[in-house]
């Protein structure tokens, strides 16, 4: 017959061993490794977001800017032509001068009509607002990347520290001897140069 106290001792020994193993840091190394890998995935995700987002934003801004530029250039040119032709009271009897004046004014009227049509189709026709939105998105994207890199650096630091500190160093030298310190994020020399956005 088994002694009830020996069963209790075995159960207590198993519980103690489990608590000892869980408190000794055996799970720390794989946990920190997975956290660092997840943080690196976040960094890559933010770079991909930037890669996907920026060309689309730039194209949108270029589209609005081109639309405004074409219409406004036409307005300025038509206005310049209209103001070059002067008709004073003595020229009212000259049908050619009057016709040239009316043609210039009609051209300006037509261009202004195009501007009004564009404004009706695009009530928020403001390249400045688009440029500000692009600037905001660029800043936000770069901030997201910076945060993701910072989180990765912190996760790698925690993982690399666990490989070298007690009690996890015991597991690093035995059960996880194949695990090597992770590389920290290092910015290239070109990181000192701000990115160029061209329109």
pLDDT at position 41 is 85
d(CA 40, CA 143) in angstroms, rounded, equals 16
**Nearest to 44, CA basis, from 182, 181, 148:** 148
One pLDDT digit (tens) per residue for the chain, 199 residues: 567 778 888 878 877 766 665 556 778 889 999 998 888 888 888 888 877 776 777 677 667 666 666 766 776 777 777 777 776 665 655 778 767 777 777 776 666 666 656 555 555 555 567 667 777 877 888 888 889 889 998 998 999 999 998 888 888 888 888 988 888 767 667 666 665 555 4
Write down the domain spans for the chain.
55-125, 143-189
pTM: 0.56
Question: 12-48 as b/e, with b when 16 or more CB fall inside 10 Å?
Answer: eeeeeeeeeeeeebbebbeebbebbeebbebbeebee
Range 55-60, long-range pairs (CB < 8 A, 24+ positions): 57/133, 57/134, 57/137, 57/138, 58/134, 58/197, 58/199, 60/130, 60/134
């Amino acid at each position: 017959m088994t002694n009830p106290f020996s069963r209790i001792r075995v159960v207590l020994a198993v519980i103690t061993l489990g608590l000892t193993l869980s408190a000794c840091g055996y799970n720390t190394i794989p946990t920190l490794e997975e956290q660092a890998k997840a943080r690196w995935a976040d960094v890559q995700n933010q770079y991909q977001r930037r890669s996907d987002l920026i060309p689309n934003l730039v194209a949108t801004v270029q589209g609005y800017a081109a639309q405004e530029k074409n219409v406004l250039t036409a307005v300025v040119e038509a206005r310049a032509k209209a103001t070059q032709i002067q008709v004073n009271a003595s020229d009212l009897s000259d049908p050619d001068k009057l016709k040239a004046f009316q043609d210039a004014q009609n051209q300006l009227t037509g261009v202004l009509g195009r501007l009004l049509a564009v404004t009706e189709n695009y009530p928020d026709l403001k390249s400045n607002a688009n440029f500000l939105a692009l600037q905001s998105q660029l800043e936000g994207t770069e901030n997201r990347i910076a945060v993701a890199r910072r989180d990765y650096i912190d996760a790698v630091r925690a993982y690399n520290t666990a490989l070298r500190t007690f009690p996890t160093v015991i597991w690093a030298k035995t059960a996880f001897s194949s695990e090597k310190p992770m590389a920290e994020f290092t910015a290239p020399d070109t990181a000192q140069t701000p990115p160029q956005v061209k329109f």
